Amino acid sequence: MLDHILYAFSDVFAVWNLALMTIGVTAGLIAGAIPGFTIAMAIVLTLPFTFGLSPVEGLATMIGVFVGGLSGGLMSGMLTGIPGTPSSIATTFDGFPLARGGKPGFALGLGVWSSFFGGLISAVLLVTLAPSLAVIGLEFGPWDYFSLVLFALTITASLSGENLMKGMIAGALGLFIGTVGEDEVNGVARFTFGFDDLESGFSFLPVLIGLFAFSQLLSDIQDRVKAREPLMDVSGTDGRVRVEHLAAIRTILSRWTNLVRSSLIGVFTGVLPAAGGSISNILAYDQAKKASKTPEKFGTGIPDGIIAPESSNNATAGGALITMMALGIPGDIVTAVMLGALLIHNVQPSPTFISDNPDLAYAIFIAFFLAHFIMIAMQSVTLKLFLLVTRIPMYVLASVILAYCAIGVFALNNIVYDIWVLFFFGVAGYILRLLGFPLAPIILGVVLGHVAELNLSRALSIDNDLMLFLSRPWSLFFLVVAAFSIAFPWYQKLRGTQSWTLAYVPALLAAVAVPMFMMEGIARPIIGVALLAVSAYLLWRSAKAGWKVAPEGDHEVHLEET
Amino acid sequence: MGRLNRDTLIALVLLVFCGVMFSASFEIEVTNYGTMQSSVWPQVVLVVLTVFSLGLLGQSIVKPRAVEASAEAAPAGLGRFRNALIVYVLFFLFLLTLDLLGMLLGGVGFVFLALTLLGEPSLKRVPLHLLIAVAMVGIMWSIFTFGLGVLLPDGELLQLN
């Protein structure tokens, strides 16, 4: 193991790799700071540059963009009141008042260092949990894997917006897009309608860039007047703001319970397929407010209101990487792109990923740690760069990036057909956005469709008994949580108003306990007993209170593009 | 067209799409090898898509308010899509002329025209737009050609490779 770690160290700390990571973090910080320019888009646009790099260099660069992007949103949120990304929305609640109250350097310091500590906590959990989770992943058969994919898709759809049906349709459309072209199992062409080019199907990258970047850019320039204005009004912002590092570190460490709690919320949210920084920052802010002795001060510019969202959104990245590396399932769009990058380099993501590619796995761990140090170093530099970039009008940025999209997509397979695919999905993505369809489930559908089909085929070739999907514990576990995730939007909407919502969590715990009892060993059935006990306690508590409902939380949870 | 009608229309279009694709799925070659035929998975997906589309149709009829699309979707005349249409037309032309102009000239042309048509209609801006187009596409072209070793299409007008 030590030789793998040393090898990974030498790869990550190579001068060229450090330079790439610095560029990646800087680009991420800038992209994260620009409203409308999401982290997912920044990662998508980074991908073409990584074709010519080694897997370690490519992934380290993307991790740099990811970490930078998660931290970049705080700059615009604090200085202008407009969050750069959805993962920094809650940061604005207290960051903006604090900055406007004459302490912009302290506010930025709190944000930057909370991001740093949150990221480090999640990095430690990534290193310790990912290999353990991968060991569990090795128990999965094709039935379990198929059910896991179903769960990933249903939870993405259910968190994608107010209209569950459109989220589900989007997921199914993604699965269908993945069926076009030669199938992996039998090598038979499907839905080609006589076009030879379609036999190779749709490459992941043109679909992704078309659906996400192309359509997003066109949405950004839809308003003719706004498109011609500078990206942001930063006229009242002093570019000479000095980040107050020491004061911020002291303040954060004195509130370590908030830091740890928020980081854990971030990691847990990241581990869930589909849930990302856009959810975790609001959840953490909500919990910090509930736990505070002075909740009324939240929103006026208090440190706890910055520490919670910023530590949690960076911790989400570690959580998402845990799922990606341990199970080969993307936690969000960003990790879906990273999986795409791995596939381009012929690295197959699966539960055996860490044991099959230890050098690469450890390099990812180390790069994730390192990216946070680079982020701290680059934050002050990018503040000035950010103020410069915001003077560019959106139409200039969009026009140049669209040309870059065409070049980047062509570089994937050196065929013009891929640019046509980009164009087609650019139009489709724009129309779907206008019609209120979330795009994240489509992307996950495209990525996971092949995995689902392959595992369904494997499962049926081993045994064509469909009951195995229900009788195998892990498969049943994922199907149970998938079913509950479908009901989640109704639970979330009606929580605090209808009494049945009081039974949602106890029912989920009791249902999840069933597959736990079916599992071998002693530990898991014990967990099953514990889940049943908690379920019974919650029901007893609700019954004792006469099934009275009380409004909970101020913020609904929806997945937005990070 | 009201929001109720729009979602009903979306559901109907999706149902037609499912019908056409389901019919096309019977054209998929049947093999005498493999446990699961190649048409099975697409048909499963299409059945699921059909069920959800029917769900959307029912929702749009029974509870029209619940089916409100996002604020983005509020229609406000075709003028609202002017910029998007300009970009799509330009990108389409860029693709059609790629064999002739190549990535470098075509890219410069696309960016220049996009900037000129999307930006303020002023002659003073034209040289600036041209400069941005040449510089940015030139830099990207150089990075991919010389840095990453990608042979970008050079076109019939300007044979560089």
> First CA to last CA across chain B, in angstroms?
53
| Together in a domain, B62 and B95 | no
Instruction: Compute φ and ψ for A393, nearest 5 degrees.
Output: -70, 155
How many CB atoms are closer than 10 A to CB A521? 7
Are A29 and A379 in contact by the 8 Å Cβ rule? The answer is yes
CB-based contact A188 B31, cutoff 8 Å: yes
When scoring B6, B70, B81, B125 by the number of chain A Cβ atoms within 10 A, the one with the most, hence best to mutate, is B70
The domain spans of chain A are 2-460, 468-544
* CB-CB neighbors (< 8 A) of B48 in chain A: 172, 175
Separation of alpha carbons A34 and A230, rounded Å: 11
Burial of A296 (0-12, 13-18, 19+ CB in 10 A): exposed
pLDDT exceeds cutoff 60 at B72: no
Are A427 and B88 in contact by the 8 Å Cβ rule? The answer is yes
**Alpha-helical segments (H) within A48-141:** 55-80, 89-100, 104-137
Six token digits for residue B88:
């799509």
* CB-CB neighbors (< 8 A) of B33 in chain A: 186
Nearest residue in chain A measured CA to CA from B136: A400
Domain end position, chosen among B52, B73, B94 = B73
Sign of the CA dihedral running A492, B71, B12, A439: negative
Instruction: Compute φ and ψ for A109, nearest 5 degrees.
Output: -60, -45
* CB-CB neighbors (< 8 A) of A408 in chain B: 144
Domain range enclosing B47: 3-73
Under 8 Å CB pairs connecting chains A and B tally to 186
When scoring B3, B82, B118 by the number of chain A Cβ atoms within 10 A, the one with the most, hence best to mutate, is B118
- Which residue type occupies A167? G
Nearest by CB to residue B80, choosing from A183, A222, A393, is A222
CA angle A463, A136, A515 (to 5 degrees): 65
- Which residue type occupies A315? A
Arithmetic mean of pLDDT, B111-118: 94
Determine the angle formed by the axes of helices A142-159 and A473-494, rounding to 10 degrees: 10
> Would B66 be classed as within a structural domain?
yes
The DSSP element (H or E) to which A287 belongs, if any, is helix A277-291
How far is B118 from chain A, CA to nearest CA, in Å?
A: 6
| Residue A393 DSSP SS3 | strand
| Together in a domain, B123 and B103 | yes
* CB-CB neighbors (< 8 A) of B67 in chain A: 163
CB-based contact A435 B38, cutoff 8 Å: no
In whole angstroms, what separates CA A239 from the centre of its chain?
31
Separation of alpha carbons A147 and A153, rounded Å: 10
* Residue B71: per-residue pLDDT: 45
Separation of alpha carbons A447 and A49, rounded Å: 20
Separation of alpha carbons A98 and B107, rounded Å: 45
CB-based contact A224 B67, cutoff 8 Å: no
* Residue A344: per-residue pLDDT: 76
CB-based contact A166 B56, cutoff 8 Å: yes
Six token digits for residue A308:
């919670």
Q: Tell me if chain A has a CB within 8 Å of the CB of B63.
A: no
* CB-CB neighbors (< 8 A) of B128 in chain A: none
How many CB atoms are closer than 10 A to CB A447? 26
Instruction: Compute φ and ψ for A222, nearest 5 degrees.
Output: -60, -40
Separation of alpha carbons A325 and B82, rounded Å: 43
CB-based contact B95 A189, cutoff 8 Å: no
| Together in a domain, B117 and B102 | yes
Domain end position, chosen among B53, B73, B93 = B73
Q: What percent of chain B has pLDDT over 90?
A: 58
Separation of alpha carbons A94 and A297, rounded Å: 9
> Would B110 be classed as within a structural domain?
yes
| Together in a domain, B87 and B57 | no
Q: DSSP string spanning B29-96?
A: PPPSSSSS-TTHHHHHHHHHHHHHHHHHHHHHHH-GGGG---GGG----GGGGHHHHHHHHHHHHHHH
Fill in the DSSP letter of residue A82: S
* CB-CB neighbors (< 8 A) of A51 in chain B: 148, 150
How far is B115 from chain A, CA to nearest CA, in Å?
A: 6
The DSSP element (H or E) to which A324 belongs, if any, is helix A304-327
> Please, which pLDDT band fits residue B154 given cuts at 50, 70 and 90?
confident
Pick from A551, A448, A432: nearest CA to A155: A448
How far is A180 from chain B, CA to nearest CA, in Å?
A: 9
| Together in a domain, B65 and B87 | no
Q: If chain A, 562 residues long, is cut into consecutive pieces of 10 residues, what is the mean pLDDT of each piece?
A: 82 92 91 77 84 86 89 80 78 87 86 92 88 83 90 78 82 94 88 89 86 84 82 64 86 93 89 72 87 87 92 88 82 77 76 83 90 88 77 88 89 89 94 89 85 90 91 94 87 84 92 93 92 94 84 54 55
CB-based contact A395 B31, cutoff 8 Å: no
Q: A230 forms bridges with which residues in the sheet? A: A393
How far is A536 from chain B, CA to nearest CA, in Å?
A: 34
| Residue A410 DSSP SS3 | helix
User: B1 vs B40, which has greater pLDDT?
Assistant: B40
CB-based contact A172 B52, cutoff 8 Å: yes
Which residues between 17 and 46 in chain B have a beta carbon less than 8 angstroms from any beta carbon of chain A? Answer: 21, 24-25, 28-29, 31, 33-39, 41-42, 45-46
Separation of alpha carbons B111 and A427, rounded Å: 18
Six token digits for residue A379:
């934050």
Six token digits for residue A59:
């992934």
* Residue A507: per-residue pLDDT: 95
How many CB atoms are closer than 10 A to CB B74? 11
CB-based contact B49 A173, cutoff 8 Å: yes
B82 Cβ neighbours under 8 A, 6+ residues apart: A224
Nearest residue in chain A measured CA to CA from B148: A52
Separation of alpha carbons A247 and A255, rounded Å: 13
Pick from A93, A87, A86, A96: nearest CA to A115: A87
Nearest residue in chain A measured CA to CA from B32: A186
SS3 for A237-279 is CCCCCCCCHHHHHHHHHHCHHHHHHHHHHHHHHHHCCCCCHHH
Separation of alpha carbons A211 and A129, rounded Å: 33
Separation of alpha carbons A31 and A37, rounded Å: 6
* CB-CB neighbors (< 8 A) of B24 in chain A: 191, 193
Separation of alpha carbons A185 and A450, rounded Å: 10
* CB-CB neighbors (< 8 A) of B25 in chain A: 190-191
CB-based contact B136 A403, cutoff 8 Å: yes
Separation of alpha carbons A288 and A80, rounded Å: 24
Sign of the CA dihedral running A219, A224, A228, A230: negative
- Total domain count, chain B: 2
CB-based contact A221 B41, cutoff 8 Å: no
> Would B160 be classed as within a structural domain?
no
* CB-CB neighbors (< 8 A) of A434 in chain B: 72-73
Separation of alpha carbons B8 and B21, rounded Å: 20
Pick from A103, A127, A108, A59: nearest CA to A375: A108
Are A29 and A37 in contact by the 8 Å Cβ rule? The answer is no
- Which residue type occupies A275? A
> Would B135 be classed as within a structural domain?
yes
How many CB atoms are closer than 10 A to CB A504? 18
Which residues between 127 and 156 in chain B have a beta carbon less than 8 angstroms from any beta carbon of chain A? Answer: 132-133, 136-137, 140-141, 143-144, 147-153
Arithmetic mean of pLDDT, B122-131: 90
| Together in a domain, B114 and B65 | no
Nearest by CB to residue A191, choosing from B21, B132, B152, is B21
| Together in a domain, B69 and B131 | no
Burial of A233 (0-12, 13-18, 19+ CB in 10 A): exposed
In whole angstroms, what separates CA A240 from the centre of its chain?
33
Domain end position, chosen among B73, B96, B113 = B73
Six token digits for residue A470:
């229900």
CB-based contact A402 B132, cutoff 8 Å: no
Separation of alpha carbons A367 and A374, rounded Å: 10
Whether ipTM tops 0.85, in short, is yes
* CB-CB neighbors (< 8 A) of A48 in chain B: 144
| Together in a domain, B16 and B67 | yes
**Alpha-helical segments (H) within A463-562:** 468-471, 473-494, 504-518, 523-544
Pick from A155, A44, A90, A83: nearest CA to A559: A155
Nearest residue in chain A measured CA to CA from B141: A407
How many CB atoms are closer than 10 A to CB A496? 13
Six token digits for residue A265:
């919320």
| Together in a domain, B55 and B95 | no
Burial of A551 (0-12, 13-18, 19+ CB in 10 A): exposed
pLDDT exceeds cutoff 80 at B69: no
> Would B68 be classed as within a structural domain?
yes
Nearest by CB to residue A179, choosing from B10, B36, B45, is B45
Task: Give the Å distances, CA to CA, from A368 to A14, A56, A63, A116, B140.
Answer: 15, 12, 6, 11, 28
CB-based contact A185 B38, cutoff 8 Å: yes
Task: Give the Å distances, CA to CA, from B71 to A163, A391, A395, A435.
Answer: 13, 27, 22, 10
Nearest by CB to residue B148, choosing from A179, A193, A411, is A411
**Top mean-pLDDT range of A227-236, B100-109, B148-157:** B100-109
Taken as a whole, chain B contains a residue count of 161
Six token digits for residue A408:
């980047």
